[in-house]
Structure 1
């Protein structure tokens, strides 16, 4: 059988990899029976040059027929892209993610450097380590952070580090700069970051410890995963600094504040609770 070529969001071409699709469905929590059903349907609609976006949309619609929870998790990459149009919700998302991983965090902090002051997206501390973290949000698939981004962030970090190192409270602390993006880095950016010990964190980098892996580890999913919310509803919530499904589970009055009636509110809460509940068994229809 002739291999099917798929077109990525960046325009790059690659061979269709069934195992890659299986892994993404499995990571979303779908059981083997559901995965097999979806793969069978997707295999029937494949054609040479099909976009990865079309495959994703088809798989998402099928998965949603079986499990809202798995569908919401499968939508994670798209959901991160929807955190815009400003980068602030993504900064808050990163800060909370690190907090759940055991860091002390602050967001939107002005820090004095040796030469000038800097507004830093996230400051994080853990043990004797102190981190300056810049978040690069993109709302377009296929966009990559090139080497100019870590070059710029490293120069800011070095100015801040010089000031930190002069303070007695930082005498025994290790300092490091980070760049976090919801998309990917170019090869040059990754090479530069590794060379100068600037930590880079993207959708799938470092391998097995990228954003998608860390989010699954702490079960932190953005409200943009929810299919029961309209785009307008999501924007209203983001404007109120409501970024996580967990926030809705903890305070359902938030949904009343954006004008949802009781029926709609219950639908949203059920989906949010399903996504947040890692121990819930998958139910097939």
Structure 2
């Protein structure tokens, strides 16, 4: 393989191909070393100058799916989160679920009064007498990062809500503001967020505790990771607030509403159970 092969990211940026990055993403799928090496060999043989990350992803995904569908499900996690769109509301429910499974009591779309105006907050999370407000910035297209305008805007809202909150008696203390995105923050956004004390959560930030790490650790995969459900079926489930794979295990009757055959229903639920238990 030519060590100087450049690949084209979804943003249009060209970067050097990294075998180790691909190995790491395949490893997260749960595939063993032998299967990972087989896929790396095949992908490496098919590389050419300027190949898109999408083409590399599609090839690796197809090879994983051929072996075990739930490996492919875990591998497509990032893409699956983009598929929660376009409204962003399922993403808010998804983020609320991450906080719920981390021990918080959550409300989605709650109105909180500020000193100047009232604000609709995406997720309000309470734990141990402390309240955290969470704003979600969802992108349905790859290659779009969160710039500094986002934490600037959220910091102003948090300040307005906190000033009013602190001026009135409350059962809990308002301690933190969060900005959560399914993409990445620019360096300016990270610097500003850290400077004003906002907590920032993106696909890979904070390191080893980003969105992808939390999802894997908690086993909270969105329903859109399924390789066996059609797009129409996924949208039907999302419209019924079935956002997590583990929700479908408890609400399998929705598959009957969709007219899914018993054989296919068994395969879908088996894939999802393997995924949640992996």
TM-score normalized by structure 1? 0.94
Partner of 2:139: 138
Q: How far apart, in 1, do the equivalents of 2:24 and 2:162 lie?
A: 41
- After superposition, give the CA deviation of every residue in 1:220-279 in whole Å (9 maximum; x if it has no partner): 00110001111111111111111111011122112112222222222211211121122x
- After superposition, give the CA deviation of every residue in 1:7-53 in whole Å (9 maximum; x if it has no partner): 11111111111111111111111111110110010010001111111
The reply on whether 1:228 has 2:235 as its aligned counterpart is no
For the structure 1 residues 72 and 208, does the alpha-carbon distance in structure 2 shift closer, same or farther, using more than 3 Å as the test?
same
Partner of 1:283: none
The reply on whether 1:176 has 2:190 as its aligned counterpart is no
Q: CA deviation at 1:170?
A: 5.5
SS of the aligned residue for 1:220 comes to coil
Q: CA deviation at 1:112?
A: 1.1
Structure 1 unmatched runs, 5+ = 279-285
- After superposition, give the CA deviation of every residue in 1:178-204 in whole Å (9 maximum; x if it has no partner): 110111111111111011111111111
SS of the aligned residue for 2:247 comes to helix
Partner of 1:46: 47
Provide runs of 4+ in structure 1 moved above 4 Å.
none
Stretch of structure 1 that moved more, 50-59 or 246-255: 246-255
Q: How far apart, in 1, do the equivalents of 2:15 and 2:99 lie?
A: 34
Partner of 2:267: 267
The reply on whether 1:238 has 2:242 as its aligned counterpart is no
Partner of 2:253: 253
Judge conservation of contact 1:7–1:50 (CA < 8 Å) in 2.
yes
Partner of 2:56: 55
SS of the aligned residue for 1:203 comes to coil
Judge conservation of contact 1:9–1:53 (CA < 8 Å) in 2.
yes
For the aligned residues, what is the CA RMSD? Answer: 1.3
